[in-house]
Chain A
Amino acid sequence: MQIRPVLSALRKHRVATLLIAMEIALACAVLCNACFLIANRVQQIQIHSGVDERALAAIKLTGFDEKDGVDLNARVLSGLATIPGMRSVSVINAVPFGGSPNNAGITTDAAGKQFAGVVNFYTGGPGSFKALGLRLIAGRAPHDGDYQPVVHFVPDDALVWVSQSLAEHAWPGVDPIGKEFWVGRPHFRVAGVVANLARPSPGEGGPSTIEWSVFVPSLPGAHFAGTYLLRASSEELPRALRDARVAIAKIAPDAVLDTTASQSVASLRETFFQQDRAMAGILLGVIAAMLLVTALGIVGLASFWVQQRRRQIGIRRALGASRGDILSYFQTENFLIVTFGIVLGMLLAYALNLVLMQHYELPRLPLYYLPIGGLVLWGLGQLAVLGPALRAAAVPPVVATRSV
């Protein structure tokens, strides 16, 4: 490849070369970081909640008197269970993506010194553990005797099931079964570990805490009423939920149906991540616009250079250079400039990420983004220069014989 003549020609156009290289560098920096942001967002959107989202729905009632809680639970449980296709109805305090978390800071000692983070407590009535479809990876499933009345917001002394992520955080490297933790006075003992269990509002305490959840088997009662977990097969769920929402008006005329919270878990998830998806969309749009502008810039400048060098191209052709030689000349030129830009751009991308990390809660840019960004820009450069280069290759040798 004829790199040396290309370089010496570029030396004549230092400023223009530098400008394209800078444009590529900036594009590279923005591309890598924006893609990284999108990837983070997509990763968040795709978190594993650990429950059978397609088969579950929630019904949330408000506005009833606390003293009517027991009666309400009984009416709703028996009323909704008769709906055709309904596999199970149970009392729960919240569902993943449904909001209204029940957060509390836990300590792994009774004295309250060893702080182990703020975790979410799911209180679930009989049947809810099985209905959620949690995958048990250690310990046993809850028995009937494990369900205890709720005292404050959870039972005071209870066996609990924790997510694997929480177990690894609170008791790294040891078997979590039988381990204890406290929320002030209330005391809990781990009886089982489930593979995944996302918080009702995953992401609120940072990406590492998404699955810091505890399942506490609890008996429905006055303090634990109003939110219900419905399970049906995924095909029948939309109809069963519709029927349930209609039936509630008859079953519980004294309560108000919270329509935004009474949805299938799948649609709660959809709503929960709406903003993340929108932001990812905007970023994608920005990236597309930027790549387009960069390509247009390369086309513009390359076209200008081709026009400026028509005579030289003609002379080279007259002296025996083939069309392919001319084509590859312009491609090599573009390749060199873009390479220079990419090297600069990788440094810039890294620096930009460092700045972002300092000001926002962003993780470090994985290094493999840099070569991928580079490849994309190389491809873009070659694609953009192809048109002007083909036009250059089409310059007939006879141009050399014309003056001016």
Chain B
Amino acid sequence: MFTYYLELAMRSLKRSPGLTVLMMLAIGFGVAASMTTWSVFRGVSGDPIPWKSSKLFVPQIDMWGPQQISGPGAHSGGHEPPDALDYTDAMALMHDHRATLQSAIYAVAPTVLPAGAGRSPIPVFGFGVYGEFFPMLDVPFEYGSGWQTSDDSDGAPVIVISDALNRQVFGGDNSIGRNIDLDGNDYRVIGVMKPWNPQPMFFDVVDTGGFGGEGPQVFVPLQRAIASGMANAGAINCPKGVQPSAGYAGLQQSNCVWLAYMIELGDAPAVQNYRQYLDNYARAQQNIGRFDWSPNNRLRDMRAFLDYEHVVPDDTHVSLLVALGLLLVCLVNTVGLMLAKFLRRSGEIGVRRALGASRRAIHAQFLTEAAVIGVGGGVLGLLLTAGGVLVVHRVLPPRLADLARIDPALLLLTVAVAIAASVLAGAYPTFRAARVQPAWQLKTN
């Protein structure tokens, strides 16, 4: 019966090609515009580490007190703690070591001096981290690995470099054990990463704004970086009226915040325990007189923290809404056109009903026709989406455009939305069409 309805649908669509094309165009346009915007949105708000994001958390401690307002929460009126840690608290948390894995993080921008005469210095971008950073974030390695906990405490001069830097300096060879000159100090290469450039750069959005260019090129032990005076390349935020004195000593003693911090927690009880631990820590600080306010901590998981930091530009959200509006306009449009088309065929329905077709059969016939239109619209939508993504690549800055690409899930969704939209659009006209009184319809003709 289905093939018969399919044949009927094709025949009816062929009878009024203009209207058919119009309906498919409407669906296609709506689907394409909303999907294109959605692909951009998905690209920039995408989860860079979906298999683990629910286990990663960012602790925030209020070391500034209720008089200070800071961070993105400042606008909402709620009193939020700063979105990074000062040196004292970051080190205390590292020392207590209560999470499964943890690392304080700060951005550095040293200069690499390649060996050999006449080679110009290479400015690089990277982070000072702890050894647990690498297993925590599943950093992929081409050669070697991250460093050991002992390297952290010894301040060993080891370094993890990116695949790109390895090609630049060592010609892409296995460079494990070789030395690299960073700001005039020698570091021993202990690991070479595979190309790794998570977007957003979720482990340090406060410093990077979420989207960096080529990805981090170097990772060095945080204590070693500080000891050698490798300057902080990220944001330093100080409470009102505080200005750290020059150099690292000043920064380390101040309560200015400049360290990102990320931890991995296994399960819900562990999260609960860690929250408890943070509160106990803040209360202990209160007892020794460092804080004269009660604990005000946050422990957001990674996604919640990215949201809190407004990493995804607002206008992307708004464009998505606009695109959804367009999809809605197209749907309403299609409902109108289908209504017109189906109602014109009251005579045909009357004949079929008089010959014994049930309402169900009429429903089946017309929904099939609607679905055919949907599939047509979907295919058209696919082509237009492909075109749309191409256009996006031309108009968006490369760093954002690279994230917006067609993927199989998007393709499937496009077709599904098209068919669902058109069947939905066909539902009301079909309902009207099936209610036609056969006798009345036959009589008037």
- Given A184-B241, A301-B337, are A286 and B22 also a contact pair (CB < 8 Å)? no
- Residues A304 and B29 in contact, CB atoms below 8 Å apart: no
- Residues B19 and A258 in contact, CB atoms below 8 Å apart: no
The A261-299 residues at the B interface (CB cut-off 8 A) are 274-275, 277-279, 281-283, 285-286, 289-290, 292-294, 296-297, 299
- Residues B318 and A152 in contact, CB atoms below 8 Å apart: no
Whether A356 sits at the interface, judged by CB under 8 Å, is yes
The B22-48 residues at the A interface (CB cut-off 8 A) are 22-23, 25-26, 29-30, 32-33, 36-37, 40
- Residues B318 and A362 in contact, CB atoms below 8 Å apart: yes
- Residues A282 and B326 in contact, CB atoms below 8 Å apart: no
Smallest CB separation, A288 vs chain B (Å) = 10
Smallest CB separation, B93 vs chain A (Å) = 27
Cα A285 to Cα B32 with chains together (Å): 11
A interface residues, how many (CB within 8 angstroms)? 59
Most buried by B among A16, A19, A41: A19
Whether B66 sits at the interface, judged by CB under 8 Å, is no
Smallest CB separation, B382 vs chain A (Å) = 16
- Given A30-B322, A112-B240, are A294 and B29 also a contact pair (CB < 8 Å)? no
Nearest residue (CB) in A for B332 is A23
Nearest residue (CB) in A for B445 is A404
Contact residues in B for A360 (Cβ distance below 8 Å): 314, 317-318
Whether B423 sits at the interface, judged by CB under 8 Å, is no
Cα A60 to Cα B23 with chains together (Å): 56
- Residues A300 and B340 in contact, CB atoms below 8 Å apart: yes
- Residues A292 and B29 in contact, CB atoms below 8 Å apart: yes
Whether B325 sits at the interface, judged by CB under 8 Å, is yes
- Given A282-B395, A283-B322, A304-B344, are A185 and B329 also a contact pair (CB < 8 Å)? no
Q: B-facing mask of A211-245, CB < 8 A → 1, else 0?
A: 00000000000010000000000000000000000
Nearest residue (CB) in B for A184 is B241
Smallest CB separation, A158 vs chain B (Å) = 15
Contact residues in A for B246 (Cβ distance below 8 Å): 152, 223
Most buried by B among A62, A186, A277, A297: A297
Smallest CB separation, A204 vs chain B (Å) = 9
- Residues A107 and B241 in contact, CB atoms below 8 Å apart: yes
Smallest CB separation, B342 vs chain A (Å) = 11
Cα A27 to Cα B397 with chains together (Å): 29
Cα A37 to Cα B29 with chains together (Å): 21
- Residues A294 and B123 in contact, CB atoms below 8 Å apart: no
Cα A394 to Cα B324 with chains together (Å): 39
- Residues A275 and B333 in contact, CB atoms below 8 Å apart: no
Chain B contact surface mostly: helix
Nearest residue (CB) in B for A348 is B325
- Residues A296 and B241 in contact, CB atoms below 8 Å apart: no
Nearest residue (CB) in A for B314 is A360
B interface residues, how many (CB within 8 angstroms)? 60
Cα A344 to Cα B218 with chains together (Å): 58
Contact residues in A for B220 (Cβ distance below 8 Å): none
Contact residues in A for B319 (Cβ distance below 8 Å): 37, 279, 282-283, 286
- Residues B318 and A293 in contact, CB atoms below 8 Å apart: no
Cα A285 to Cα B397 with chains together (Å): 17
- Given A282-B392, A285-B391, A289-B29, are A356 and B315 also a contact pair (CB < 8 Å)? no
Contact residues in A for B314 (Cβ distance below 8 Å): 360-362
The B276-317 residues at the A interface (CB cut-off 8 A) are 313-317
- Residues B37 and A296 in contact, CB atoms below 8 Å apart: no
The A1-45 residues at the B interface (CB cut-off 8 A) are 15-16, 19-20, 22-23, 26-27, 29-30, 33-34, 37, 41
Contact residues in B for A15 (Cβ distance below 8 Å): 339, 428, 432
Contact residues in B for A277 (Cβ distance below 8 Å): 395
- Residues B341 and A304 in contact, CB atoms below 8 Å apart: yes
Whether A115 sits at the interface, judged by CB under 8 Å, is yes
- Residues B326 and A293 in contact, CB atoms below 8 Å apart: yes
- Residues B33 and A289 in contact, CB atoms below 8 Å apart: yes
- Given A292-B29, A293-B25, A361-B314, are A286 and B323 also a contact pair (CB < 8 Å)? yes
Nearest residue (CB) in A for B231 is A66
Contact partner of A300 (CB less than 8 A), chosen from B22, B29, B241, is B22
Cα A80 to Cα B235 with chains together (Å): 31
Q: A-facing mask of B167-209, CB < 8 A → 1, else 0?
A: 0000000000000000000000000000000000000000000
- Residues B326 and A300 in contact, CB atoms below 8 Å apart: no
Contact residues in A for B109 (Cβ distance below 8 Å): 62
- Residues A286 and B332 in contact, CB atoms below 8 Å apart: no
Whether A46 sits at the interface, judged by CB under 8 Å, is no
Cα A34 to Cα B32 with chains together (Å): 18
Q: B-facing mask of A345-378, CB < 8 A → 1, else 0?
A: 0000000100010011110000000000000000
Contact residues in B for A138 (Cβ distance below 8 Å): none
Whether B243 sits at the interface, judged by CB under 8 Å, is yes
Whether A47 sits at the interface, judged by CB under 8 Å, is no
Whether A256 sits at the interface, judged by CB under 8 Å, is yes
- Residues B243 and A185 in contact, CB atoms below 8 Å apart: yes
Cα A185 to Cα B240 with chains together (Å): 11
Contact residues in A for B336 (Cβ distance below 8 Å): 16, 19-20, 23, 297, 300-301
Whether B91 sits at the interface, judged by CB under 8 Å, is no
Contact residues in A for B397 (Cβ distance below 8 Å): 274-275, 278
- Residues A105 and B240 in contact, CB atoms below 8 Å apart: yes
Smallest CB separation, B386 vs chain A (Å) = 15
- Residues B326 and A290 in contact, CB atoms below 8 Å apart: yes
Contact partner of A293 (CB less than 8 A), chosen from B26, B36, B245, B388, is B26
Q: A-facing mask of B414-445, CB < 8 A → 1, else 0?
A: 00000000000000100010000000000001
Smallest CB separation, A15 vs chain B (Å) = 6
- Given A283-B322, A286-B33, are A308 and B344 also a contact pair (CB < 8 Å)? yes
Whether B413 sits at the interface, judged by CB under 8 Å, is no
Cα A297 to Cα B329 with chains together (Å): 10
Nearest residue (CB) in A for B111 is A63
Whether A183 sits at the interface, judged by CB under 8 Å, is yes
The B223-254 residues at the A interface (CB cut-off 8 A) are 240-243, 245-246
- Residues A356 and B111 in contact, CB atoms below 8 Å apart: no
- Given A282-B319, A289-B326, are A275 and B400 also a contact pair (CB < 8 Å)? yes
Sample (9) of A-B pairs whose CB atoms are under 8 Å apart: A30-B326, A112-B241, A256-B111, A256-B121, A282-B40, A290-B325, A301-B336, A301-B337, A304-B19
**3 closest residue pairs by CB, A with B:** A297-B333, A30-B325, A19-B336
Q: A16-B336, A105-B240, A256-B120 are in contact. List 20 more A-B contacts (CB 8 A).
A: A15-B432, A22-B332, A26-B328, A62-B123, A115-B240, A256-B121, A281-B395, A282-B40, A282-B396, A285-B391, A286-B322, A286-B323, A286-B326, A289-B33, A296-B333, A297-B26, A300-B337, A304-B19, A304-B341, A360-B317
